[in-house]
Amino acid sequence: MSLPLVQPAATAADLARGPYVEQDNWTSWPSKEALTRQGVSASRRWLGVVGRLVGLGFAVWGTFADNQHLRGGAVWAVSAAMLVGVLAFLGFVRSTPRTRVVPSLIWLGVVLNAAIVAVELGGYVIGIVLLCAIALASMQRLPLAVAVPATSVSLVLFLVLIPHNDSLSDMALVLGLGAIGYIGRLDWEARAGTLRLLEQERAARAAEAESAALAERARIAREIHDVLAHSLSAQLVHLEAARLMLDAGADREQLRERIVAARRMAQDGLAETRAALSALRGEFVPTGEFLTALAANDGARVTIEGEVRPLTAEAGVAVRRTAQEALTNVRKHAPGAECTIRLAYLGDSVELEVWNGASEGGGELAASGSGYGLLGMRERAELLGGSLSAGPEGKGYRVLLSVPTP
C-alpha cells in the first residue's frame, strides 16, 4: 500500500509566494515540471548525459583496474551487479515523474542490493558510486519523508560496508551529496516555477487578446448598428410624412420634396457608414466641425465651450451618435422647433447638450421609429463610464451626455 503522499497543484497564491513553497510539505513530491526537467536546454541535457557517462567510466576503471580483490568469476558478478544497479537507477529516474512511492522504492531497493553485492565481491568503487547516487537522487526526486530515510540507509551501508580510515569524512561525503541533491531539487523547482509563471502569463495574454478582439467586434457591431438605425430612422420620418401627406391629398411637389429628402437621407446614411468605418480606424474629423455640419441641415445653433482638445475614438463616436439621435428625435417629435447644441470641454470630461423648444406639428410622426435610440445612447455612455439623461425641460426637451476623457 502506498503512502498518502500528495502531489500539490500549483496555485496562483503559491506561485506568487515563490517556487519553494512546495518544499515546506514533507509529503509533497517535486512538481512534474521539475521531475521531467522541463525548460532545460538540449545542450545542457546532453552535457549532463556526457558527464554521467564519464563518471560511470571512471567508476568502472576504478573498480576493475589493478583490483587484487577481483579474480575469475567475481569480475563477471561485479559487472552484472553494476549493470543491474545502473539499469535500476535509470528505472528509478523514469518512475518518479509518475509520483508513485512503491515503484520508486522498489527501483531504489534494487540499486541498493546491487551496491551491496558489488561491495561484498570487492567492487568497492562501483558500490560507492551506487550508494552515493541513492543519496543524491533521493533528495532530488522523492518526497522528503521518503528521501531522508533513503539517504540515511545509504549512509549507514556506506559506513558499514566500505573499508575506510575516517568515518567522519565518509559521513560528510554522503551527507554532502544529499545536501547537493536537495539544492538541486530547489533549483529544479525554481525553474519549474518560472515555467509555470510563463505559461500563466501566456494564457493571460491570450485571454486578454481574445477579450480585446471580442470587445472590438462588439464595438464594430455597435457602430454599424447605430449608423443604420439613425439613417433608416431618418428615412422613415420622411417616408412616413410622405404617406401622411399622400393620405391628406397633398400636391405632387410636396410629395416630391419628402421623397427627395428620404433619398438624401439614404445618401447621408452611406456617407455616415463610410465615416463610421473611418472612425473605427481612428480617422476622425474634429468633433466641433462634425456637429456644425450636422446642425446646418436642421437649422440648429452650435456653441462650443472650454478648451478644444482631441477626444478618444470611443468618446468622439458617443458624442456624434448622441447628437444624430437627438436631432432625429427633434425632426420626428418637434419639426421646425428651435434647437441648440452645446459642446463643453470640461476638466476630465466632455458634455453634449441638445435642447429643442416645443412644436405643434410633431404629433403625426411621433410614433415612427423603434423608440430605442436614446436607450442605446445611454448604454453606450455607461460603457464608457459616463451618463446620459433625457427629459422635458421648461417648454422643450433636453438631452445631456457626459463622458470622461483622459
Residue that wins the pLDDT comparison between 120 and 269: 120
Residue that wins the pLDDT comparison between 218 and 72: 218
Query: Has residue 13 got a pLDDT over 50?
Result: no
Q: What is the pTM of this model?
A: 0.46
Q: Which three cell numbers stand for residue 161?
A: 560496508
Query: Has residue 403 got a pLDDT over 90?
Result: yes
Query: Has residue 249 got a pLDDT over 50?
Result: yes
For 305-323, what is each residue's pLDDT tens digit?
988 888 887 788 888 888 8
Range 75-84 average pLDDT: 83
- pLDDT at residue number 119: 82
Which has the minimum average pLDDT: 10-19, 57-66, 162-171?
10-19
Which region, left, alpha or beta, applies to residue 190 given φ > 0 means left and ψ of -120 to 50 means alpha?
alpha
Sign of the dihedral through C-alpha 262, 267, 273, 275: negative
Average pLDDT, the chain: 76
Percent of the chain predicted with pLDDT > 70: 76
Place 341 in a pLDDT band, splitting at 50, 70 and 90. very high
- pLDDT at residue number 281: 62
Q: Does CATH number 3.30.460.10 belong to domain 286-406? A: no
DSSP conformation letters of 4-20: --B-PPPPHHHHHH-TT
Query: Has residue 359 got a pLDDT over 70?
Result: no
Most confident range (mean pLDDT) of 58-72, 324-338, 344-358 is: 344-358
Maximum separation of any 2 CA atoms in the chain, in Å:
129
Q: Where are the domains of the chain?
A: 12-204, 286-406
Range 93-120 average pLDDT: 88
Which has the minimum average pLDDT: 35-39, 147-151, 206-210, 285-289?
35-39
